[in-house]
Amino acid sequence: MKRGISILAVVTALLLSFALYEALIGAPTERTMGDVQRIFYYHVPSAWTAFLLFLINFIASIVYLIRRNPKTDILALVSAEVGVVFCTVVIVTGPIWARPVWGIWWAAGDIRLTTTLVLWLIYISYLVLRRFSTSGQTPVIAAVLAIFGALDVPLVYFSIWFFRTQHPSPVIGGGGSLDPRMAHVLLINWAAFLCLAWLVSWTRYRLEVVKREVEEAQALESLLEGSR
């Protein structure tokens, strides 16, 4: 276990450094936007990683409701937390990219960024629920919330899409085809961020396992002390 994490950590560090080099120097400069476009190599992979993590949370939540295995619940918690971290990156880098390119910090009709914002809000509320719940069955309630969130996403997407048809707005992510060299750098950065996500999630998972064991031991101890 420990060796696995160390190897992953080294691979992650190497990949991230290489990916950073490619993003800042290796990749060709974009014609219309200039060097600012390089934000794309961080913004887009972070979004894909966040969505993947939220998908894992959704599946883990359903599996938990069926099987009620505590390890599955830990997976749900971890994927939600790390997903929020990556999602925050998307929400912060989006406007930083939009401002020099489009002159505005945010476009309400930008479908991808706005959907990501709502997803971020839903998962923040998920984490707050987990933190504030005093029920013994928090995992069940959190899992139900995750399912509601997942049901909501297509509705959010459609509602913003339709809003856009009535209130035309710039597309912050940029559409259109991609130079193959840029696609290459994009994929390298995605691979690097996936490794980072895996590394952080694995670490968080082990931390949570130990934390719960300690809590159980503490509960047991106070129970025994009470009977002395």
Partner 1 sequence: MNSMHYLYAAYIATWAIHGTYLVILARKYKKVRREMESLRK
Partner 2 sequence: MSFFAITRATLEKDIRLEWRSKDAVNAMLFFALLVVVIFSFAFDPTAEESRRIAGGLIWVAFLFAAVVALNQTWARELRNQVLDAYRVSPAPANPLFLAKALGNFIFVAILEALMTPLFIVFFKLRALGETWDLLPIALLGTWALVVNGTFFAAMSLRTRSREIMLPLLLFPISVPALLGMVNATSAVLSGEYSPRVWIALLLAYDVVFTIACLYLFETVLEAE
Binding residues for partner 2, rule: CB under 8 A, are 65, 118, 121-122, 124-125, 128-129, 132-135, 137, 140-141, 144-145, 147-149, 151-152, 155-156, 158-160, 162-163, 166
Q: What does 133 interact with, of partner 1, partner 2, none (CB < 5 to 8 A by kind)?
A: partner 2
| Greatest alpha-carbon span in the chain | 76
Q: Does 39 bind partner 1 (CB under 8 A)?
A: yes
Residues 156-215 that bind partner 1 (CB under 8 A): 196, 200, 203-204, 207, 210-211, 214
Task: Pick between residue 43 and residue 130 the one whose CB is nearest to partner 2.
Answer: 130
Q: Does 107 bind partner 1 (CB under 8 A)?
A: no
Exactly one of 5, 9, 63, 93 binds partner 1 (CB under 8 A); that residue is 93
Residues 1-30 that bind partner 1 (CB under 8 A): 20, 24
Exactly one of 10, 14, 55, 92 binds partner 1 (CB under 8 A); that residue is 92
User: In terms of C-beta distances under 8 Å and separation of at least 24 residues, what long-range contacts does 3-11 make, across chains too?
Assistant: 4/202, 5/199, 5/202, 5/203, 8/195, 8/198, 8/199, 8/202, 9/199, 11/195
Give every CB contact of residue 110 below 8 A, 6+ residues apart in sequence: 98, 169, 170, 171, 172, 173
DSSP state of 26: I
Task: Pick between residue 56 and residue 142 the one whose CB is nearest to partner 2.
Answer: 142
Task: Pick between residue 43 and residue 130 the one whose CB is nearest to partner 1.
Answer: 43
Nearest one of 185, 179, 189 to 26, comparing CA atoms = 185
Determine the Cα–Cα distance for residues 10 and 133; give it in Å rounded to an integer. Answer: 37
